Every structure is written in structure tokens, then in C-alpha cells.
A and B are shown apart, each in its own frame.
Chain A
Amino acid sequence: MAKAAVSKEYKTVSQIAGPLVFVKKTEPVGYQEMVTVRLSDGSIKRGQVLDTSDEVVVIQIFEGTTGIDRQASVRFLGDTMKMPVSREMLGRVLTGAGEPLDGGARIVPEKELDIVGAAINPWARDSPADFIQTGISTIDGMNTLVRGQKLPIFSGSGLPHNEIALQIARQAKVLGENEEFAVVFIALGITNEEKQMFMKEFERTGALKNAVVFLNLADDPAVERIVTPRLGLTTAEYMAFELGMQVLVIMTDITNYCEALRQVGAAREEVPGRRGYPGYMYTDLAQLYERAGRIKGKKGSITQIPILSMPSDDITHPIPDLSGYITEGQIVLSRELHRNGIYPPVNVSSSLSRLMNSGVGKGKTREDHKAVSDQLYASYAEGKDLRGLVAIVGKDSLSAKDRKFLDFADLFEDRVVRQGIDEDRSIERTLEISWEILKELDIDQLTRIDRKYIEKYLQK
């Protein structure tokens, strides 16, 4: 944009409120244009235009308005926010604003891309397909993640979702052919302690070499938190659709993101929606989640695992609720399992992967995968129901068959759900373990599995 060169500095700040700065009488300024503000002490803050008219321009300041006074000079940059992207970003750790955090050099961009990604034309989308192995049995075996899918983890405070996120980031891979796989890890509003843990883990396990990490900290300004996922997703889009990689995007914690949305919305004096969250939160979240997918004729894909902690474990809270309407299923963590010392505490009964069927079966994982999963679901549900009954009538009054289901439920939690934090199970291993515990049931209790698979896979 040639215009940027002639941009003037304005010293017409009329009002400062929360993260917003109002500037009077400017030349025409574009909506969402980038802005720099020079403070009287010479320091520079960045912002973006929220509202523009002939009389007044409203600017949202990323770093917060501390120290800005009416003498500050405002410069409009003539362009919307761009993310410099490059293949060299793999292995780098960046701040929530996209600046290097690892002491390395600045990114030399191969391209600069608009961070508000355009919507993929539904006509150009390709159906999600092909299995992504996370090495976690409850996900791979029963809630399979598929390339191009967005599958969130619904957690709660105090549950080990960050450990799971790291484990997935470390272990995730695509099977088969020579595919390039990359992870974009986006941390939103994490504490300094968590940051240390993430950094250490990435270094310890060597997972960093295939990853780009964005870290937005809890004490970074809220406005930046709204930008961070967009920077990460823009990077992911570049790697997936221009470099042809299979990209897995992990975002944690979306709840912090939504809090930032609410905070900024309130500062703008917007009419609030449910529980004070902005009325456009659905659309806003969709603009993040919907950047997952595959495109016809392109090799790469973007798969998302957003992680969110449900305030007071309430799945009907607006954040999990709106997410659930956009994403293709959900993995729900259980406080009960966690208390029983089971890691990862995945509650399979309320978890669901809507796209599982397009990622499993012959040629993708294994022919018996779906049937085994159905059987595990059904038998575990049966066993869990009986637990309720046992609490009332005691174990002795159960029939022999029922007792088998009851034991099965324990076995299932112990063998299939529970696994080590460094234990990377292949899908074959997951199915093997499943068959080992299914062995404990009578053959006529295996109603969901075809005879031919039972004969083939059940080891007597």
C-alpha cells in the first residue's frame, strides 16, 4: 500500500477508556487498519481500528492503554494486520503477538498473510478422511481423530488437560505414506508456571522440531489473546495449503480466549449476550474452528484440538455449548476418573467423534476397529449402569453375566483408559488391549462384533 508512506501522525486523542483510544478528525482510515501509538516517553504501542467515521476513529490498543495520555501521537499504517510466515518457523517459540520468545532471530517472511482468514468456500472443501494417531487409546480407539476435523477436549480446572495436550503434541502422527506432519501449539492466557512447563516439555521430548509454539501469557493484554489464535491459524493454513503439510493445531485454553472476548466487548460497551459474553461469540469461535479442514486438490490438512475448561464443569455453559455446536464431537474429561487416579481421565460415555467413521476401518486403521469400539462402548455402559445397582443391592445379588460386565467396566478403565503420560500406543496396540479385555466377557455378550472378527482376533 503506497498510501502508508504518507501517513501522518495525529495528536488528536479525545478519549481513552479501557483498551480503547478515540482519535478525532483524521483523514479517512480503514476499518481494522493497524495503528501505532507513540507515548510521550517515546515507547510505542500497537492497536487496530474498531470503528471509523469522519469525526472519530476508535482504536483498540493491544498492549493496554497504560501510560497513554492525550498528547500521544497516533499513526495509521494503512493496512490490516498481517502475519509473516515461513517454513523456518518450525521449531520456533513465539509470543502471543508473533515475536520470537526463544532468543532466536526474527522470522524472515516468505509471505505476509492476512490474519483474519477468509472462509473456505464450502464447494472447495474436501471431506475429512484418514486417521491421525494420537497414541491415546480412548481417542484413537473410540473417538478417532480424522484429518480436517476439529475435536475439542472439554476439561475442568484442576484436570490434566495441559498434560494431555502436550502428550498429543508429542505423539501425534499420520500413518502410512511419506507425509510431512507439523504441530502448531497455541497457548492462550497460560500462567508463567505453565509456560515453563510447556517450554521444558517441548525441549525434553524434542517435539519442538516439528512444531511452532505461540505463547500468550495470563498477564498479556486481553486484546492480544484475541489475535494469538489467528496468528497461529494463519501459520497453520500456510503450512497446510501452501507447503502441503498435515498440520495439527492445539489451542489451550479457549476459555481464556472467550474471557478476553467478553472483556473487550464490555470495554466497547457492547450489548452483552448470554452470561455477559458477546452476542457474536458463536460467529467468532466459528471463525477459529472453521479454519480446520481439507481443500480439494490440496495435499495438506488442518486438524484442530481446541482445549477448554468448563467453568464449574458445566457442559451447558456458553463456551462448551457454542463450541460443541461448531466442532465435530468432543472429548470430555471426568473428574471422577481423575480422582480415582486414572490418567488420561477421558469419559468415553459422553465423548463423541462425529467423523470417526470416515477415519477407521480396513485400509485406514483395521477392519475390526468400529465393531470393537462399539462393543467397548456398549459393555462399559452396561457395567457402569450396574455399578449404580450394586450400590443399592450389593454385588452378590447380581447374576454371573452381570458380574462379568461389572468387572469389565473396572478392567476397561484400568487397561484401556489408563495409560502412561509417556506411553505412545499404536492403534494396533490399542485394539490388542481391547481384545484382551473383551476376552473376559462371554462370547455371547459380544453382540456388536461380527463372528468373523471374533474368530480372527479373540485370543482364547
Chain B
Amino acid sequence: MSTKGVIYRVAGPVVTATGISPRMYDVVHVGKEGLMGEVIKIVGDYSIIQVYEDTSGVKPGEPVTNTGLPLVAELGPGLLTSVYDGIQRPLPVLRDKMGDYIFRGVSAPGLDREKKWDFKPTVKNGDEVEAGQAIGTVKEGSMVHKIMIPPGFKKGKIKNISAGMHTVEDAIAEVDGQEVSMMQKWPVREARPVKEKFQPDIPLITGQRVLDTMFPLAKGGASAIPGAFGTGKTVTQQSLAKYSNAEIVVYIGCGERGNEMTEVLTEFPELVDPTTGESLMNRTVLIANTSNMPVAAREASVYTGITIAEYFRDMGYDVSLMADSTSRWAEAMREISSRLEEMPGEEGFPAYLAGRLSEFYERACRAKALSGEVGSVSVIGAVSPPGGDLSEPVTQNTLRIVRVFWALDTKLRERRHFPAINWLTSYSMYDKQLSDWYKKNVAEDFPMLKAWAMQVLQKESELQEIVQMVGSDSLPDEQKLVLEVAKMIREIFLQQNAYHPIDAYCPANRQYVMLSLIKKYSDLAANALAGGVQVDKIAYLPVRQRFNQAKYEENVDAELEAVSKDMDAQFAGLGA
């Protein structure tokens, strides 16, 4: 399949070659050092190649080899705990090979070719199997890694299935005359096939009150977190990676800070997963293509990431994929597009920006895989709008596709309100779909409670406008009470400390308890007001202080019960 040609022209990461007659998106090796690249345009005999590595010193006339294959991800045992660059080269291996810096022309396979895995078949010779079906398992840490027949295989009887220690390349079985190994290769720019996509109706529980209660994301859904720099996108993304109830986490550091990736790389292995007691890293795949690494590899990184996520979905797992940041990805597209001298669209972005974004987000879904298992890929994409201006093309095109919008807000950050997610501008369109789940699994009145809280917050924002003009003293007592209750919702419920050992994760049930306690306070207070008690007295009840602190206590649930009792007692005291 491979053909050889020569370089005609070099201009930055864009190289033109002749004589290779490739197909679009074939991977080619460029120059004497064999730099990896991808064909992105064909004009007559000229093939235009985006090269994933630095091209300094590369000359016209140097050889180009076409591999005849598109950019693929290697999928199989060994993915978990891996740390890759944008084109799935394992960073630890690169460091062993070439030291502390990433130089070019070094390749390393995504999956370790030497390592042996203990394959346990779940089917017997003679069983009929089809594409996508699991034929055995491998234990990868505490996770069960299912070995599946790659998509595209014909239905057939299984032969020579071989249990025991194998490398990822060994033949472990044969179907219809074709060998099956534990490694699959899948072109990253293509979505992996599924049998059927479902309406997402199960929430991805994140342990973040403002997200789970107010703006929930469904498993298999997509959400966007736009925010100016310093509003806490990365902290929110990392909290989600740490605490969401997805079984597998794929974290893509796309064009972000090197030191931030270092933080992720040092923190994730230390974090203990509350459900398994193991390091979070054991169920994580990290992709780190920092801002100064080659821009073409940055462009590829989100595809590499989502392909890996889909592979785990096909085993029946719930996967959450964080992309930080999709704006950097879009900028990579823009850079390459401008080198190709394509006609620019809005703000210099290529006209196909919207198309690429929707193709990517559409790969999020909850689905029945070819194997019959049900799994999901939820995508959480950070957007870094220039100047915090949400009207820019990347944010706008993203919002047209995703159904959840978590708006980070500079003003809230300045007030040290974290997570700085604005409750008035954020939204989740999964609200209705998920309310049945919440009714069944948390509490019947949960959706109502939440609607009440949103109303109070909305009312507060209206009242604030008046307060700013005439001061709060001129408000009637009922409205002052609304302000007090809204303050409780904001300070007790919405604010959450991502660094506090207890408060960092709040289970759905506790979210319900906290919110119903605020409601209870509101109801008792309204009664007291009706009974002639002054609002100041209500606002200064000592229980407020205890309630404020309760979420940080070791025995938080018991403490919340105590708060409830105190509330009864203290309001009774007022009435007397």
C-alpha cells in the first residue's frame, strides 16, 4: 500500500509532496527523519500534508512515504493509566527515549508491545460471534477490560481461542479465517459504530451541588463550560474528573499550560476513588498536548481522546471525557487553515468550524454498542472565549450543539464565590428528561424543590436592582426574607469548596437534605413573619451560623439533622 514520493515545498507545519497519490487523511512520514503527518488536501499530483512535528531544516527533495492508512488510535489493554500526547505517543516512553524535551522523529506505539496480559475467554471454540461482541476479558488493575471482535468483522465461528498470557499483537482467536488480537486500530476521525442511540435520561452525578441539582448533565450528554481566564474552568473540570460517577475518565489537556498538566499528572495518581479505594489514575486515560507542543497534534488530540472514550463505551462503561480547552483546538484548526490559505470565516476561523464542532459533540451519546452492552460517553468541553466575550464563534457554535451550559462568571470569582457558575445564565436542557430519575432515586419532591430555589434566586436578582437604587431598608419584610433565603441558597448550597476534604463531594441525597432544610427555614420564617416576628430577628437566629458550617463537618449528615432540630426549637422560641 505504501508509496514513496518527495517533498516539493515546506512552509511551517504544512508540507507539500509529490508522487505519493494518497487518500485524504492518510498518514505519511515526511523527510529523512520520518516526521509524522496527515494528508489534508490533494491538488493534482500535489498532496498537502499537516505535519505533527517541527519541520525546521526539512528540505524539498527529501523522501515522503505514504502508509496508506488514516490516523488511528490503538485500542486494547494498557490504555488505562496511560499518558499520551495528541497522537497517542506515550509521554513516559518518549521521555525514556529522548529525555526531558520532546524532539522530533521519535515514534512510540500507543500500546506496549512487550507487555503480556492474562486473557480469559468468555466464549468457546465453535461459538458464533459477530463484530463488537466480547470474546473474553483482561484484568487491567481493578477494571475488567473486555476484548471485543473489532467492528467490520463478519459473523463467524470462533476457532483457536487461546487463554493465558499474550501481548496485544498475539493472535488470541480466529474468526472466519481472520486472526483476532487484543488490539484494535480505529481511525480517530470516524465515530465507532453503535446499534442504537438512546435518549439520555440518567444523570451523571458529579457531587457538585450547583451542577447536579441546578444544571444536571445526563450520561451521554454534552456540556460546555465557557469562561474567561481565572474563572475556574480547570478546577471545575478537575472536580468533575475526580468525582463524577463515570467509570472511565478521559482527560484531554488540549493546548493548555504545561504546569497545569503536571498538576493533573501528580494529583490524579494520589486521588483515591471512593468507590474502589484505588487511585483515580487506574481508570483514567490522560492526553496532554500542551500549548507549545506541535499544533497539528493538538488538532488531532480531541479525536484521539474521544475514540478511546468510545472504545470503553463499547464495553458497556460510562465514560466521561473532559476536553480542556476546545477553544485551543479550534485555534489549531484556524492556524492550519490559514497556512493552507483557505478562505476564512468569522474571526479568521475556517468556515467548517461549526461542522467540526458538531461532529465532535455528536460523538457523545448513551448507546447500545454492537456488543449489546449499554454504555455512554459524556463530553464536557471547556471553552476559553477571548476576553470572556461569549459572542465569539467557538462559544456560539458550541452552544448551538450542547444542551448544558455552565457559565463561569468573572464577577462571582471576584466575590470568591466558587464554583463561579452563574445560576441565572446557565441552563440544562436535560432538566425534564432527568426529573423522573430524581423523583425515583432521590425524592419525589426534588424537582419541585429545585424549581422553588430557582424562583427565589430569580426573585433575588429582581430585588437586587431595587436595593441598588433605594437600599434594602425600604423593602417590606417579606421581600427582605426573600433576600435572606436567597443568600442561604447561594452561600450554603451553591458555594462549594473544591479543596475541602468533606465539602468537595456532596452526594445527591445530601444535596436534597440541604436544599429542603433551606426551604424549611424559609417556610418557618414566613410563618413567623405572619405571626408578627421581625425579619431581623429571624435572620440572626444562631442556627444560621451552624447551618453555614455544617457542610464542612466530619459528620455532616448528623450535623444537618441537628440543624433541622435547632431550627424547630429556635423558631418555636421566636413564636413564644
Selected interface stretch from A100-108, A161-169, A215-223, A322-330: A322-330
A361 within 8 A of B: no
The proximity string for B residues 326-359 relative to A, scoring 1 for CB distances below 8 Å and 0 otherwise, is 0010011011001001001001100000000000
Interface residue? B263 (CB, 8 A): yes
Which of A30, A126, A279, A291 is in CB contact (< 8 Å) with B56?
A: A30
A273 and B348 within 8 A (CB): yes
Give the CA-CA distance A120 to B290 in the complex, in Å.
Answer: 9
Tell me the count of chain A residues lying within 8 A, CB to CB, of chain B: 66
Q: Do B292 and A293 have beta carbons less than 8 Å apart?
A: no
The total of chain B residues at the interface (CB under 8 A) is: 60
Q: Which residues of B contact A272 (CB under 8 A)?
A: 348
Main secondary structure of the interface of B (DSSP, over half): mixed
Q: Are B344 and A122 in contact (CB under 8 A)?
A: no
Looking across the interface, which residue of chain A has its beta carbon closest to that of B261? A122
Q: Does B185 contact A (CB under 8 A)?
A: no
A125 touches B261 (CB 8 A): yes
Contact B60 A28 (CB under 8 A): yes
Interface residues of B in 254-280 (CB under 8 A from A): 255, 257-259, 261-263, 265-266
Asked whether B60 lies within 8 Å of A29 as measured between CB atoms, the reply is yes
With contacts A116-B54, A279-B334 known, is A121 near B259, CB below 8 A? Answer: no
User: If A31-B57, A119-B293 touch, does A316 touch B100 (CB 8 Å cutoff)?
Assistant: no
Q: Is B389 an interface residue (CB 8 A)?
A: yes
Binds A, one of B10-18, B66-74, B210-218, B450-458: B10-18
If A31-B12, A324-B229, A349-B414 touch, whether A279 touches B335 (CB-CB below 8 Å) is yes
| Residues A121 and B56 in contact, CB atoms below 8 Å apart | no
* Chain A residues near B263 (CB-CB < 8 A): 127
Known contacts A120-B101, A122-B261; is-contact A53 B344 (Cβ 8 Å): no
A181 within 8 A of B: no
Contact of B56 with A80 in the complex, beta carbons under 8 Å: yes
Point out the residue from A123, A278, A290 that lies within 8 Å of B94, measured CB to CB.
A123
Residues of chain A with a CB closer than 8 A to B61's CB:
28, 54
Residue of B nearest to A287 (CB): B292
The digit string for B384-397, where 1 denotes a CB below 8 A from any CB of A, is 10111100000000
Any B CB within 8 A of the CB of A171: no
Option from A31, A116, A280, A283 in Cβ contact (under 8 Å) with B58: A31
Given contacts A52-B59, A279-B334, contact A274 B8 (CB under 8 A): no
Q: Are B334 and A326 closer than 8 Å at their CB atoms? A: no
Contact with B along A289-324 (1 / 0, CB 8 A): 011010110100000000000000001111001101
* A120 and B56 in contact, given A126-B262, A290-B290 (Cβ under 8 angstroms): no
Docked complex Cα distance between A118 and B262 (Å)? 17
Tell me, yes or no, whether A84 is within 8 Å of chain B by CB.
no
Contact status A325-B229, CB under 8 Å: yes
Least CB separation from A322: chain B residue: B386
Q: How far is the CA of A287 from the CA of B102 in the complex (A)?
A: 13
Whether A122 lies near B91 (C-beta < 8 A) is yes
Given A30-B57, A127-B259, A271-B348, 13 extra CB contacts under 8 A:
A28-B60, A28-B61, A29-B60, A30-B59, A31-B11, A119-B258, A122-B83, A122-B91, A123-B95, A124-B100, A241-B100, A286-B255, A290-B292
Instruction: List chain B positions with a Cβ less than 8 A from chain A.
Output: 8-12, 16, 54-62, 83, 91-92, 94-95, 99-103, 229-230, 253, 255, 257-259, 261-263, 265-266, 288, 290-293, 295, 328, 331-332, 334-335, 338, 341, 344, 347-348, 384, 386-389, 414, 416
Residues of A within 8 A of B (CB): 28-33, 50-54, 79-80, 114, 116-128, 148-149, 241, 270-274, 278-280, 282-283, 286-287, 290-291, 293, 295-296, 298, 315-318, 321-322, 324-326, 328-330, 349-350, 352, 354-355, 378
